Every structure is written in C-alpha cells, then in structure tokens.
Amino acid sequence: MRVAISTDGDQVAPHFGRCEAYTLVDLKEGEIAKQERIPNPGHEPGFLPGYLAECGVNCIVAGGMGPRAKMLFDEKQIEAIVGVSCSVREAIEGLLQGALTGGASLCDYQPK
C-alpha cells in the first residue's frame, strides 16, 4: 500500500491540494518499507488525483478536500481519508495499526 499524506511541516495539512508537500509511505506487512517527502507540484483542478495515481498512490490522508476532488480520487481507486488532524508520524502509526479514521473534511472548501 502506498499512502500520500498531505503535509505542512510535520503535520497533516488541512487541505490535500494546498499543502507544501506529500509524505509518501510504502506500507508492507505492518511496517514502513519506504518513506519519502515530495514537493507539491501545484494545485490545479483535477491534476493531483492523476499525478498521485501515477506515483503509485492508492490512499491519501488529509485534513480535507472538496467533493469534486473526492470524486476524482474515487475514479482513480484512491481511498481518501479526510478529517485527519495530527502529526504525520501519528497518521502513519494509525495506518500501521489499522486505526486511522477520518471524519468531516476540515478544509474551508466553498463550491463556486
């Protein structure tokens, strides 16, 4: 499983597309097989779900995202866990334990 965690500093970012970077984590057999941080290539509508799919991501963790983004991630078979507010380390630990749960989106997305 390859997870992309929207990252600001050492925290899960409140919005998946407006973060400074993504922490990519490969999880295998309950352990971290690989971890790296990549810069956010930019927030253009519809771009990030395809970009992250090309990076092999099948799960994204973020504080929030709008409904269109959620739909685009669903189309790419990328699970979106939103409503997460903690450190990246805590999010990874939650994933490893199978205990990371999401909730309501934390971003202030307003449809136009």
The domain locations on the chain are 19-24+33-38+48-93
pLDDT in tens, 74-107: 999 999 999 999 999 999 999 999 999 888 777 6
pLDDT at 104: 77
In this structure, what token pair is assigned to residue 8? 């600001």
* Higher-pLDDT residue of 42, 77: 77
Rounded CA separation 2/81 (Å) = 13
Confidence (pTM): 0.92
DSSP state of 12: E
